[in-house]
Amino acid sequence: MLRAIFSGDDMPIYNAPLQDMRFLLNDVFQADQFWQSNEQLAHVDMATVDAVLEEMAKFSAGVLLPLNRSGDEEGAKIEGTVVTTPTGFKEAFKLYAEGGWVGLGAAEEWGGQGMPKMVTMLAEEMIFAVNPSFTLYPLLSVGACLAISAYASQEQKETYLPRIYSGEWSGTMCLTEPHAGTDLGIIKTKAIPNGDGSFAISGTKIFITGGEHDLTSNHIHLVLAKTPDAPEGSKGISLFIVPKFNVNADGSLGERNAVAAGSIEHKMGIKASATCVMNFDGAKGFLVGKENEGLAAMFVMMNYERLSMGLQGLGASEIAFQNAAVYAHDRIQGRSATGTKSPEKAADPIIHHPDVRRMLLNGKVNNEAGRCFAMYVARQLDLSKYGTAEQQKAAADRVALLTPVAKAFLTDRALNATLDAQLVFGGHGYIREWGMEQYVRDVRIAQIYEGTNGIQSLDLMGRKIVRNGGASVVPYLAEIRDAMSKLGAEHDFLKTAMEKAVSRVEAITRTVIERSKTNPDEVNAACVDYLHAFGLMSYGYMFVLLLNAAAGKSGEFYANKTTLAKFFVARVLPELYARADAIEGGAESLMAFDAAYFA
């Protein structure tokens, strides 16, 4: 829905794309049928989910959106070791917690609502769209809870999960150290046994989202550290719970633990999110799971966050598109090449210029295909948890394959789409008051944290494909081809394009696997281009699913799915072949220079 052009003094708009969300749930993935056929999900139905989505749409636009710009301008602040969030954040978090949103996907055993991932991902997209800085606070709490739920003792679960899911306490993820980013095997944080079952945790962690703030009464840090006799490398990492305030036997808060924020980072974006340097000085910590098996526990949290970063990108792309579309309808400049459209005005609205349409449609493709892809991955996550034994195994394999794509491809495309939306505004897009430059700054981090997108690409190409000789890709390509076979004759344009795309991805997969046998550099040299080719093919698959679901339905909403798919085939999908050509160019030109050339 459009509105009159906003001025620099007005707030950007956001209308949650509920019709598209319902279409995905009801028609594309037939979620209600899955829920009602599963005993563990029988409490979930579309009427309930509709109410959840409506309420989140209201909360996002009414509570969180008004705090986005002011939060960016005020930022998180630190005095000594005390961190405060911007004005309004504490009150908004209280409302968020009281609404049960932190525990939306949590088991009822821990006070949650037990909603499946296909629902919680849509809620995440909405809050990421309107206020990514705010969203990161509860997001880290949910991730911490997932790790605790999967690996902690029953006593630890009972102590921490209800209080974190209620919003009384919060959780963090403490991995990165000043000298150790992705390579966690070289961390220096130590865990020395105290002799009473606890450990003294000492070390410094950086880039800790929500490491200290004023939103909750306690912070539960999940910290990677090494015990004295731990093996070298990643096999010697253990995971520890380190509370800000120690917890008494009755669950009340005890004395302050020896952990504190040393500083907060001064960042390009997400300024209202407190990104802390955390110092642990013999802080009391408690082992989670088994010693030296902490990385597996932490990956539960990291994988959750990786998909969430994709949703952050999707949210930014959606709100940027919506505001650029409004602007394009109201901003007049030049006359249409095909004749005057608004003779009563001095010029025509820029929406009539093809290049403006190109930028807007790039965003629209990303929003619709990206949301469908995120929903597809969410469905696999639900199947891996609630499906039959056979479904769980197949879905877990598919999630492992697609998680790096969900993180990296969605965020790469989102930055591009957000930049296009900013450019629709011309010079106004560069000015703070219009809001667009904040979206660009805020979404940039999504390509960096939880492993840069280059690392995600290497994970896909190296660990998920080359390592198993491409076996993980075979069933995915077969599934795509099966869905393509169901397209009606009116969608032959998509079927023909996808047959070519799938075959090309299949070919470059074999090429990299074969070349890597004699030159290990081929994997790293190809990985980013491969992930993008793979992602473009996957977006094409999403359009296959969208058009199959829309087939036989009348109305502009459904007809527009076909029209958008035609734009994708004509103007977006061809990038796949440029990426494939680059892969076939090999590693030689990248590695031909001596390292001194870059000095």
The alpha carbon dihedral of 112, 114, 117, 120 has a sign of negative
Q: Cα angle vertex 369, ends 584, 496, to 5°? A: 60
Q: Whole-angstrom Cα distance, residue 346 to residue 502?
A: 49
Q: Whole-angstrom Cα distance, residue 346 to residue 331?
A: 11
Which residues are tagged catalytic? 450
What token pair was written down for 451? 């492993």
Q: Whole-angstrom Cα distance, residue 505 to residue 577?
A: 9
Q: Whole-angstrom Cα distance, residue 529 to residue 457?
A: 8
- 549 in Cβ contact with 28 (< 8 Å): yes
Place of tokens 């602040």: 77
Query: What does the longest C-alpha to C-alpha distance in the chain come to?
Result: 84
Q: How many residues does the chain have?
A: 599
CA atoms within 13 A on the CB side of 328: 23
Whole-angstrom CA distances from 542 to 81, 196, 365 are: 47, 54, 11
Q: What one-letter code names the amino acid at 414?
A: A
Place of tokens 């705010």: 134
- 408 in Cβ contact with 453 (< 8 Å): yes
Q: Whole-angstrom Cα distance, residue 435 to residue 114?
A: 36
Q: Whole-angstrom Cα distance, residue 272 to residue 92?
A: 13
Q: Whole-angstrom Cα distance, residue 573 to residue 564?
A: 12
Q: Whole-angstrom Cα distance, residue 443 to residue 371?
A: 16
Backbone angles phi, psi at 574, to 5 degrees: -55, -20
CA atoms within 13 A on the CB side of 450: 31
What token pair was written down for 437? 């430059």
- 169 in Cβ contact with 217 (< 8 Å): yes
Closest CA to 199 of 223, 218, 232: 223
DSSP output for 219-276: EEEEEEEB-TTPPSGGGG-EEEEEESEEE-TTS-EEEEPSEEEEEE---SS-TTS-EE
Place of tokens 């209620």: 166
Neighbour tally for 155: CB within 10 Å:
9
Which residues, at least 6 apart from 270, have a Cβ–Cβ distance to it below 8 Å?
132, 133, 136, 442, 445
Closest CA to 18 of 573, 579, 560, 557: 557
